[in-house]
Amino acid sequence: MDKTEKFLRRLSPKERLVVIEIVEKVEKGETNELDMKKLKGQSGLFRVRHGAIRVIFQKTEGATVVISVDRRREDTYNFS
């Protein structure tokens, strides 16, 4: 079980629904109402913020890959 899967299991059902909705909107390209930003110094990486939850994903041609789902902490954006 990876870190993201473990995190999703610890979320409340309401928070889990929010994360699922965010991922679905990003996949469909409906990002106008999301708090989305491109990450500086990262090629093709974006984050969506909803309260303390961050969904980090990579957009490639024809695909969107979720990299991380986590609460905002000091190491949220460390991908090393």
Judge contact between 53 and 18, C-beta under 8 A. Answer: yes
Q: Closest Cα to residue 68, out of 22, 14, 12?
A: 22
pLDDT at 8 over 70: yes
Residues 14-44: tens digit of each pLDDT: 988 999 899 899 888 888 899 999 988 878 8
Entry pTM: 0.77
Per domain, the residue ranges of the chain are: 3-71
Q: How many other β-carbons are positioned within 10 Å of the β-carbon of residue 76?
A: 15
Give the model's pLDDT for residue 46. Answer: 92
Superfamily of domain 3-71 in CATH is: RelE-like (3.30.2310.20)
Long-range contacts from 70-74, C-beta under 8 angstroms, 24+ separation: 70/3, 70/4, 70/7, 71/7
Q: Which residue has the higher pLDDT, 53 or 3?
A: 53
Q: Which residue has the higher pLDDT, 59 or 79?
A: 59
Which helix (DSSP H) or strand (DSSP E) does residue 7 occupy? helix 3-10
